[in-house]
Each structure stands twice: as structure tokens, then as C-alpha cells.
A and B are shown apart, each in its own frame.
Chain A
Amino acid sequence: MILASLVDLSRLQFALTAMYHWIFVPLTLGLGFIIAIMETYYVRSGNEFWKRTAKFWMNIFAINFAIGVATGIILEFQFGTNWSNYSWFVGDIFGAPLAIEGILAFFLESTFFAVMFFGWNKVSKKAHLISTYLVAIGTNLSALWILVANAWMQFPTGMQFNPDTARNEMVDFWSVALSPVAINKFIHTTTNGYVLAAIFVIGVSAWFLMRKREEEFARKSIKISAIFGLISLIVLIWSGDGSAVHVAKKQPMKLAAMEGLYKSHKGTSLVAIGILNPGKKIDDYYDNPLKYKNEKPYWVNISIPQGLSLLVNRKMDTYVPGVEDILEGGYVYTDRNGDEKIAPPIEERMELGKLAIAGLADYRKASKAGDEEGKDIAYKQLMENFDHFGYGYIEKPSDVVPNIPLTFYSFHIMVILGGFFLLFFALTLYMEFKGIIGKHKWYHWTAIASIPLVYICSQAGWIVAEVGRQPWTIQDLLPVNAAVSGVSSGSVQTTLILFFILFSVLLIAEIGIMLKVIKKGPGA
């Protein structure tokens, strides 16, 4: 029980810092390029208007950047402080992208950041423009490597377990770095940043339009951002679709939770809008089967027939397993080597996992005793069951089911808002080209309201990705309860509260500063 609350507190602390970090990062990812485009206009035309415009957004960029950096460092060190077992178990793979990120991306970012902000009089116009682009590229490269690491946790590949060191070791760097999950994740996450930055710029500019201030500045900012945002959003939606295909193959439980799909059949439908029945609890599936059976999955739902099958496999009659189906086994899944296999029931996987772990224990005992034959037998037992290794730590079958309501609602909020932003960009471009964008107050309010909405959308995306994969830190290999550090839950609780207070204060300060800078406008 104490361990459980330690795990929960550690998860909460990680989630808190990750979510705070993700408030600041996406704006940095996209705004860098928007500024670079504006400065390109300046260098090509020599028109001071563009310099003034670029510099206004740079100011916003700088305020946002500092706090993004501050929250980022905590995340990095938290792998060690709070997830020490994880750090050893997979550090051989996970650490490399983090270190490469430092060498290749962070230095690029931070070095040219100084030129971008302090170098207007010190380097040539062209050198300055190049620096601005390098900052934008640097921020995106930073995102690349951490997402490679994250993708690896969701779909571990390119490694081999070594029982002598009791950890996974990297055997193929490129299959880690270029895993299809990693590439898809990178595209999905960075374009999300671009869309967020575009909506941020449009929203702030709309405020100027509403106040009838700086109208040229506002309209040109809107035009660049709307085009940039629309293109990014199309790529974003395309990569989201790709992401669903990957999840279906590699993390079927996550998909089932996203859709609130309990029991499935061929030609599975896709829930467009729905409200889950909070009475349907997965624990009841084992403890109170009658109650479970009588509870309907949804209170309300509007579904697209066969939609989910189409989405994940492009075929109308594809079978997509639901939560119960996964617990019972019997469906087809893709393992880490890309082979299709029939999944055993969870209870059987837990047994196989225990066999794998016992194999590891025996191997290490035999190794100490110098018993070569015993080592071979134990090794065989470990490797034959290694795909189920993590299930050996699972206490009861329902533990492998993530929080369904949180995953379900986050997923649907994300999708609905994504659709709304498509309309919003189209509307913005239409009004801009018609020249009526300055006239309609309702539009200005919509644009301003879109800023918080796009942040919600972006956070919801991460909730789907990270809550949906629970309880796994490494899919099927290491659940959270086996990954956590040996610190006391009281310590984690204290740091959690401290982080919460510190970050909240800094967030309020940041918003305060931004509002002042925006109010002042680009003129000053």
C-alpha cells in the first residue's frame, strides 16, 4: 500500500512537471519558425516594419523560452531521482538520445539564442537571420531526441536483454532512432507545436485588431501564421491517423481505452461523441461480474459504424480488440520484432512474466555458483518468456487497464478541437483575403478564445499518449511499480508540493509579463 502511493505520487510529480513543461515547449517549437519567416521578409525587403514585427514576437519567445528550460531540467533529472530502477533497466538505450540531444540540439539552441537576442548590432543581418533559423531548428532537434526516447518506451526495439547486467542493452541505434513510432511521434508533436504557435499569434493579433491598434502588424502576423498553421494542421491530422495505426498494432489496450471500447466484434465502430457510464468499472469484471455485465459502457454515444476498423487497418471488417478481449486474450498483436502473434490471456501473461523473472533470478544464482548448465537453462527460460517480462510484476489483471475515462475524454477533446481548428484556420484565411478580418468582433473573440483551447488540445494529446499506456514505463517490460526509486513517499509528496507551488508562481509571473508585453505592443 505504501509502495502504491509512492508510485502514484511519483507519477503525479512526473505528470505535473511534464505538463508544465509542455505548456511552454510547443509555443517555442512553432514561434521560432514564425519569427524566422518574418525576419526573412525583413532581410529581403529591408523594411523596418518586419524587423519590428519579428522583434515583438521574439520578446514573447524569450519569456516563454526561459521557463521552458527551467521545467525541462527537472524532467531530465527526475528519471534518476524518482525512477531509478527504470534508469538502470533501460539507461543504456534511453540515455543515449538524451545525451545526443544535449550535444547536438541544446548547444545549437542556446548559443544562437544569444545571437538572436543580443546580436542585432554585433553581427550582419544575414548572420542574424541564420542564427534565428538555427534557434528554430535547434528547438525542434531537441524535441526530436526526447521523442525518440519516448517512442522507444512505447515501442521498445533495437535492444537485447543482458542477464549479466540485469538490463536492456542497445544493439541497433538506427532502429531506435528511426523507429516508425518515433518518426510519427516527432511529426505529430512538432506540428502540434506549430499549430499552437499559429493560433497563439492569431489570437494575440486579433486582440490588436479588436482594439484597432497596429492593424498592419496584426494582419500580416495573422496571414503568415494562418498559412503556416493550416499546413501544419493538415500534417498533424495525417500523422495522428498514422499514430492510431501504430497504437492499434503495438498498444491495443491504449486504443481500447481511447475509445472506451470494452467488448468488441468485427467491424468495430468509432465513437464520435460520447459520455461514458461511470458505473462501469473494470475491477468489477473480476470482483462483481454480474454488476459489470449489467452496466452499459456509455450513457450517450454517437458512433460511426465500422469507423475504428477503417481507421486502424483501412478495412471495414477488421477486428479491434476491446478491454475485455485483451484481458481474455486471443486477438492478434504485433510483437517487438514485428511478428504477428496471438495474445495469451493476461493471467497467462502474468504467469509467463513470473517465469521470465524467475529465469533471471536463477541465471544470476547459477552464474555466481559457476554452474554453466544451470545458466543455460535459466537463460532459455528467461528469453522464451521475455516478451511478458513486465507482466510478472503486475499484481492483478485489472492493473493492466489504464484510466479509461481520462484517456477516452482526452482523446475525444483532442480530436474535436483539432477539427475546430481546421475550420478556424480556413475561416481566418477567408476573412483575411476578403479583407474583412478587422471588422468582426465575434471573430476576434473566437480567435482569443482559441488560445486556451489549443493549449487544452495539446495537453489532452499528451494525456492520451501517457495515461493511455499505463501501467507501463516500457511497454510490456517494466510497469511503473517496478520502475520507481526507493525513496519515501513523504519525500516525493514534499517535492511534489514544492514543484507545484514554484511552477504555479512562475507560470503566473510569466503570464503577467506576457500580458504587459502584449499590451505595450510592437511599437515601443
Chain B
Amino acid sequence: MSLLGSLLVFLMFVQGGQSLLFGTAKENEEKTLLVNALGHKWELTFTTLVTFGGAIFASFPLYYSTSFGGAYWLWMAILFLFVIQAVSFEFRSKAGNLLGPRTYETFLFLNGTFGTILLGVAVGMFFSGGSFVMDKSSIADTFQPTISYWTNGWHGLEAIVNPFNLLLGIVVYLAARTLGLMYVMMQIESETLNTKCKSQIKITGPAFVLGFVAFLIALFTMTGYSVNPENGLISPVKYKYLFNMTELIWPLVMLVAGVLLVLSGLGLNIFGKRVGKSSFFLTGGGVVLAVWSLLICAAFNDTAYFVSTVDPQYSLTLYNSSSSEFTLKTMAYASLMVPFVMGYIYYVWRAMTKVKMSIDDLSKPDTHKY
């Protein structure tokens, strides 16, 4: 297996992961302004989620089949939450929308809260594992050819009540909410909304930081599983994730840098005189770095990234679940396009957000209003 090839693809999928996390910030203020300001950006988040799915499929097909096919209900719940989001912006204020604006606002709210929490829970399973069995030889059994099975009837719902997963889910939600508040302050011209956000962020921001610290403590004290690259045997290692940080060093650097960025962004926002764009981008950048480093920590350094709680030998590692070298190389070529894609996203983002959005803008004749 080519580590180089998987590295590139892996990075890309990780990036997909983060943009999701901060992009899904959608708390419902039942304000047209908010829906519109967020509505200009929702496609970007959604697209990232879809690309994230595609990239996992292409890079780690065994994860795709084991986790999605096993933790069926968890993923289905996430899907439902995103389906109802996709239509809600466009349908909310339109005449003839059958369900009335309130329903669509509720859809958005559900997506913003439970959508983020459940995605956090799903990411938590990279550390806490799932109760599945997996044997590739099964495919040669014509009566029971399924490779991987979930061993309980909850099919992923049990992961939600796992305290570790739930903690991460809440942290993800708080992160998304913090960034959402900052985005609103940055993008919307409204005195009342701004004051409300300003007082809210004083609670949400510190809660996010505290939650994250609690999560780090839980993570660094837990037992992880290490894979022997020679023979594929998997064994428990105490403080595995802490060692991953100290042995690899660069995730640690990224994590520290990320935390510092988040803290400075929050500090600027709460104590600064003027709410500029910098606090949003500082915090966002910090979140990206921190999550990125955690995901690296979940799989690199010979770590089993999806542990089977039934028998660790079934666990998924980069070695047994990745795509072939050829496919990963193909993907690496395709990901050469990523800077170009980022470039035009940046250009469009700038062109579209030069000025703040106010209620007057929405009544201008050339505006497509949500």
C-alpha cells in the first residue's frame, strides 16, 4: 500500500470533514435575514458532505461498507436531517409550499442541532469503535456472502448514548454554533441580531472550549488499538492517542496551533471593540487545524481507526481498508484540482460578501430571496 498515495487522499477527505463541521452552523432565529445570510452558503457545506461521502467511498471502501451498512440507523438519521435541510431554504418563504414556513424553519433547526451532533457521534466512532464483525473471506460463501455485520439490533443508535461520542457530538454542535454566531455578526447588518449574538457567544464560545478540553482529556486517557503492519495483528495500547500526538509531533503542532487560533478568535470577538471578519476566519481556521490533527491521530501511526468492540482483530486500519494504490494515485491526480477549486470558491465568497446583508437588500428587485 502506498502511504504517499493514501496520504494525499486522506488529507482531502479530512478537509471535507472539517468544512462540514463549521459549515453546518445553523441555529434558527426565525429571521428571514438569518436564513438568507446562511442560505447563500448552505450549498457549499452540503457539497462538502457529499464529496466527503464520495471520497470515503473511493479511499476507504471497507469503512464505507462496514460503517454505513452496519450503523444503518445512525447514518439514516443523518441523511434524513440533511434531506430536510436541502429543501428548506428554497421552499420556506414560497407560496404553495404545503407545510408552511414554520415547518421548514423547524427542519433547519433540527438539521442545525441534531445534524451536527449526530455527525459528531459518527466521527466519535473513529475512536470508540463499533460492534461489528468483518471477514473478507465471507464473500466466498455463496449462502452468506456479506463481509461485515453489525452484531446488535440497534444498528448504530447505541453509538449515540456512548458518553464519549455524545461529548464529541456536543462539542461539534457548539463549534458550529460559535462559528454560526460569528458569521451572523460578520455578515448581517442588524443591531438587534448583533446584540443577541454578542451575548450568546459569551456562553457558547467558552462552553465550546471547555467541552473540547474535556474531550481531549477523555481521548488522551483512553486505550487505543495499534496494528502491526507486518502481520496485521491488532493489540490494545494504553494512551494510544496521546502517544500518536507525541510520536508524530506534527498533529500536536497542528492541535496547539488550532487551539491558539480558536482562543484568539474568540477573544477578539468577545473582548475586541469592533467585530471584524478576522474572528470568524481565525476561529474557523483553528477548528480546521484541530479536527484535522485529531483525524490524523485516529488513523496514522499504525492505529486502528474503526475498532470492532466484538473482537479487535476485525478492526479497520489504513492497511486493510484502503483502496488500491492505483486508485489512490488516480485520486491524488484528481485532488491536484483542489487548489483551483478552493481558488474559485475564495473568489466567489469575496465577491458575494463584500457588503453586509441588511433587510433593505432583500427587498431589492434583483435579489433571489429565501
- Chain A residues near B (Cβ < 8 Å): 58-59, 62-63, 65-67, 69-74, 76-77, 79-89, 91-96, 98-104, 106-115, 117-123, 127, 162, 165-167, 169-171, 173, 354, 357-358, 360-361, 364, 392-393, 481-482, 484-488, 491, 495, 498, 502, 505-506, 508-510, 512-517
Q: A96: which B residues are within 8 A, CB to CB?
A: 58, 323, 327, 330-331, 334
Counting CB contacts under 8 A, is B267 at the interface? no
Nearest B-chain residue to A121, judged by Cβ? B366
Q: A88 near B61 (CB under 8 angstroms)? A: yes
B94 close to A (CB within 8 Å): yes
Q: Is B200 an interface residue (CB 8 A)?
A: no
Whether the pair A92, B324 counts as a contact (CB closer than 8 A) is yes
Determine if B65 is an interface residue (Cβ-Cβ < 8 Å).
yes
Residue interface bits B162-174, CB-to-A below 8 A is 1, else 0:
0000000000000
Query: Is A114 within 8 A of B352, CB to CB?
Result: yes
A residues near B142, Cβ cutoff 8 Å: 354, 357, 392-393, 482
The binding surface of chain A is classed by DSSP as helix
A512/B97 in contact, CB under 8 A? yes
Q: Is B94 a contact partner of A123 (Cβ separation < 8 A)? A: no
B281 close to A (CB within 8 Å): no
Q: From residue A446, how far is it (CB to closest CB) to chain B in Å?
A: 26
The 8 Å CB contact of B348, one of A59, A93, A114, A357, is A114
User: Once the chains bind, are A73 and B46 in contact (CB under 8 Å)?
Assistant: yes
Assuming the contacts A87-B61, A88-B62, A169-B327, asked whether A102 and B47 have C-beta atoms less than 8 A apart, the reply is: yes
Q: Decide: B72 and A485 in contact? CB cutoff 8 A.
A: yes
**In whole angstroms, what is the CA distance A87 to B67 when docked?**
11
Query: Which of chain B's residues 351-369 have a Cβ closer than 8 Å to chain A?
Result: 351-352, 354, 364, 366-368
B16, closest chain A residue (CB): A102
Contact between A482 and B351 (Cβ–Cβ < 8 Å)? no
Given A81-B72, A487-B69, A95-B147 contact (CB < 8 Å):
no
Question: In the complex, what residue of chain A is closest to B141 when comparing beta carbons?
Answer: A361
Docked pose: A108 CA to B233 CA in angstroms: 43
B42-67: which residues lie under 8 A (CB-CB) from chain A?
43-44, 46-47, 49-59, 61-62, 64-67
Q: Which residues of A contact B335 (CB under 8 A)?
A: 103
**Is B149 an interface position by the 8 A CB rule?**
yes
Distance (whole angstroms) from the CB of B102 to the closest CB of chain A: 14
Q: State whether A99 touches B58 (Cβ < 8 A).
A: yes
Q: Name the residue among A66, A123, A358 with the largest chain B CB count within 10 angstroms.
A: A66
Across the interface, B140 reaches (CB within 8 A) one of A71, A104, A357, A508, namely: A357
Q: Which residues of B contact A84 (CB under 8 A)?
A: 64-66, 68-70, 146-148
CB contact between A80 and one of B12, B65, B89, B330 (< 8 Å): that residue? B65
Asked if B137 and A81 make an inter-chain contact with CB atoms under 8 angstroms apart, the answer reads no
In the complex, are the beta carbons of B326 and A94 less than 8 A apart? no
Given contacts A77-B75, A85-B139, A506-B87, 5 further A-B pairs with CB under 8 A are: A73-B53, A84-B147, A100-B54, A103-B335, A513-B97
Closest to B366 in A: A120
Chain B nearest Cβ from A253, distance in angstroms: 21
Can you list 13 A-B pairs, Cβ within 8 angstroms, ordered by A? A72-B50, A73-B49, A84-B68, A99-B55, A99-B331, A102-B47, A108-B341, A111-B345, A111-B348, A114-B40, A122-B352, A360-B140, A495-B76
B327 contact from A77, A95, A119, Cβ within 8 A: A95
Question: Which of A101, A109, A114, A357 sits near B54, CB closer than 8 Å?
Answer: A101
A361 and B146 CA atoms in complex are apart in Å by: 14
Once the chains bind, are B73 and A491 in contact (CB under 8 Å)?
yes
Question: Which stretch from B77-85, B271-279, B282-290 is at the chain A interface?
Answer: B77-85
> Which of B57, B75, B141, B149 counts the most A-chain CB atoms under 10 A from its CB?
B57
B49 — which chain A residues lie within 8 A by C-beta? 73
* Known contacts A73-B50, A103-B341, A173-B330; A509/B99 CB under 8 A: yes
What residues of chain B lie closer than 8 Å to A392, measured between beta carbons?
142
User: Do the beta carbons of B65 and A66 come within 8 Å of each other?
Assistant: no
User: Cα distance A251–B269 when bound, in Å?
Assistant: 63
CB contact under 8 A between A91 and B98, given known A96-B331, A113-B43, A119-B352 = no
Query: Of B43, B44, B153, B341, which is in contact with the most chain A CB atoms at under 10 Å from its CB?
Result: B43
Q: Are A118 and B64 in contact (CB under 8 A)?
A: no
Shortest Cβ distance from A113 into B: residue: B43
Contact A66 B323 (CB under 8 A): no
Which A residues lie within 8 Å of B354 (CB)?
Answer: 122
CB of B327 within 8 A of CB of A73, answer no
Contact of B44 among A80, A110, A169 (CB under 8 A): A110
- Would A486 and B69 be within 8 Å (CB), given that A76-B53, A95-B64, A357-B142 are in contact? yes
CA distance A393 to B142 in the complex (A): 5
Cα-based distance from A123 to B355 in the complex (angstroms): 12
CB distance from A489 to the nearest CB of B (A): 12
Chain B residues within an 8 Å CB radius of A170: 324, 326-327, 330
B150 located at the interface, meaning its Cβ lies under 8 Å from any Cβ of chain A in the complex: yes
From the candidates B53, B65, B67, B86, name the one contacting A69 in the complex (CB within 8 A).
B86
- Asked if B76 and A91 sit within 8 Å, CB to CB, the answer is no
Question: B189 on the interface (CB 8 Å rule)?
Answer: no
- Give min CB distance, A201 to chain B, whole Å: 19
Rounded to whole angstroms, the CA-CA distance of A124 and B50 in the bound complex is 31
Chain B residues with CB under 8 Å of A486's CB are 69-70, 146, 148-150
Of A88, A100, A123, the most chain B CB neighbours within 10 A belong to A88
A77 partner, pick from B43, B79, B150, beta carbons under 8 A: B79
Chain A residue with minimal CB distance to B53?
Answer: A76
Neighbouring A residues of B72 by C-beta, 8 Å = 81, 485, 487, 491, 495
> A103 to nearest B CB, angstroms?
6
Check if A77 sits within 8 Å of B330, measured CB to CB: no
Residue on A nearest B151 in the bound complex, by CB: A486
